[in-house]
């Protein structure tokens, strides 16, 4: 008794199986996740190093387009008018670091409330550090010259 098709069919199906497996592997290996380009920071006095007692809070959105970083955010409840704001890094949440980018603060109708904004260019190393969560935003006041509220850019 002979099996219908014999070795000819077996080779055909084996080849088809191998071709499907190779195709699947090529798709799986070429699909890499997109690099993160949008970040957020929630600013509080408790996030300062050392922590600051304040009713001030803030939030910011950070976007990355190529090597250009753009920051847009708000703050309120500070002890007084904001005197400066910056992106600092690289630093973990429990450490401090130097200024990477100065931001513009615009006070609102109520002292201690307003907006922060800025745009700058980052190096490849700085982009990697930002994506690794090693940058933070800090808003300074006269009463808290080292920073009244801070939030890690994540």
Please check whether residues 44 and 90 belong to one and the same domain: yes
Please check whether residues 45 and 75 belong to one and the same domain: yes
Please check whether residues 21 and 70 belong to one and the same domain: no
- Here the tokens at position 24 are 């699947």
Please check whether residues 96 and 145 belong to one and the same domain: yes
Cα separation of 42 and 139, whole Å? 12
**Number of structural domains in the chain:** 2
pLDDT band, very low/low/confident/very high, at 110 (cuts 50, 70, 90):
very high
Please check whether residues 25 and 93 belong to one and the same domain: no
Taking the CA atoms of 107, 113, 119 and 121 in sequence, report the sign of the dihedral they define: positive
Please check whether residues 27 and 67 belong to one and the same domain: no
Please check whether residues 74 and 125 belong to one and the same domain: yes
Look up the domain containing 18 and give its range.
1-32
Please check whether residues 92 and 130 belong to one and the same domain: yes
Please check whether residues 43 and 26 belong to one and the same domain: no
Interval 1-53: pLDDT, tens: 555 655 565 555 666 556 555 555 555 555 556 788 999 999 999 999 999 99
The pTM of the full predicted model, rounded to 2 decimals, is: 0.79
Please check whether residues 19 and 83 belong to one and the same domain: no
**Which run of H or E residues covers position 18?**
helix 6-30
Interval 69-88: pLDDT, tens: 999 999 999 999 999 999 99
């Amino acid at each position: 008794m002979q099996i219908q098709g014999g070795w000819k069919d077996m080779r055909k199906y084996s080849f088809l199986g191998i071709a499907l497996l190779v195709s699947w592997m090529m798709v799986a290996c070429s699909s890499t996740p997109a690099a993160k380009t949008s970040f957020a920071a929630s600013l509080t006095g408790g996030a300062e190093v050392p922590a600051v007692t304040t009713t001030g809070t803030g939030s910011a959105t950070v976007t990355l387009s190529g090597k250009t970083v753009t920051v847009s955010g708000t703050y309120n409840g500070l002890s007084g008018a904001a005197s400066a704001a910056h992106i600092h890094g690289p630093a973990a949440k429990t450490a401090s670091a130097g200024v990477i980018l100065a931001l513009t603060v615009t006070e609102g109708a109520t002292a201690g409330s307003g907006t922060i904004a800025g745009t700058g260019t980052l190096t490849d190393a700085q982009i990697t550090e930002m994506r690794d969560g090693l940058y933070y935003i800090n808003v300074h006041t006269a009463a808290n010259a080292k920073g009244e509220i801070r939030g890690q850019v994540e």
